[in-house]
């Protein structure tokens, strides 16, 4: 079952700047590691335009910027048509818009706890995460 992450909402749960690019890059790497370890597909949505040189494909994780629309709109659109999935958000309005569908909603704070556990897991190999990160040519320009 694919995961859809309200990235801006998760950044708020972490206490990170929702506008700055680096916290988004950090979250992108974390969700990519999460997707790899869980052997699942994950899409992380951020509000606003895509920053320059921001990789969109990190292994099993895809990063989407909403442009002129909101990330919430893109998540609701993706869940139309009866698609099943897990949505990570603390946004009650978003949760209400997708209620009644084959969707499980996970609170952003709970997801952040899972990500922090992932960071402490000694079996997680950062090398695999970096390979996934640099698999997108846009990420290679940053360093």
Per-residue pLDDT tens digits for 53-110: 898 998 899 999 999 999 999 999 998 877 789 999 999 999 999 887 789 999 999 9
What is the domain extent for residue 128?
A: 3-140
Nearest to 91 by CA among 101, 76, 69, 77: 76
**pLDDT for the residue 127:** 53
Tokens for 124, please give them.
């997680």
Q: pTM for the full model?
A: 0.83
End-to-end CA distance of the chain: 34
Mean of the per-residue pLDDT values of the chain: 86
Q: How confident is the model at residue 134 (pLDDT cuts 50, 70, 90)?
A: low
Tokens for 3, please give them.
């995961």
**pLDDT for the residue 80:** 84
For residues 96, 99, 80, 25, the Cα torsion angle rounded to the nearest 10 degrees is 60
Cα 33–101–67 angle (5° rounding)? 55
Q: Count of domains in the chain?
A: 1
């Amino acid at each position: 079952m694919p995961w859809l992450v309200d990235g801006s909402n998760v950044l708020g749960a972490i206490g990170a700047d929702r506008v700055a690019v680096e916290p988004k890059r950090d979250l992108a790497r974390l969700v990519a590691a999460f997707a790899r370890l869980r052997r699942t597909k994950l899409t992380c949505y951020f509000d606003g335009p895509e920053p320059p040189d921001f990789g969109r494909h990190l292994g099993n994780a895809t990063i989407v910027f909403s442009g002129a629309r909101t990330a919430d709109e893109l998540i609701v659109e993706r869940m139309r048509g009866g698609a099943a999935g897990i949505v990570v958000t603390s946004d009650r309005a978003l949760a209400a818009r997708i209620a009644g569908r084959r969707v499980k909603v996970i609170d952003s704070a709970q997801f952040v706890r899972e990500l922090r556990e992932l960071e402490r897991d000694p079996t997680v190999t950062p090398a695999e995460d970096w390979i996934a990160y640099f698999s997108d040519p846009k990420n290679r320009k940053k360093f």
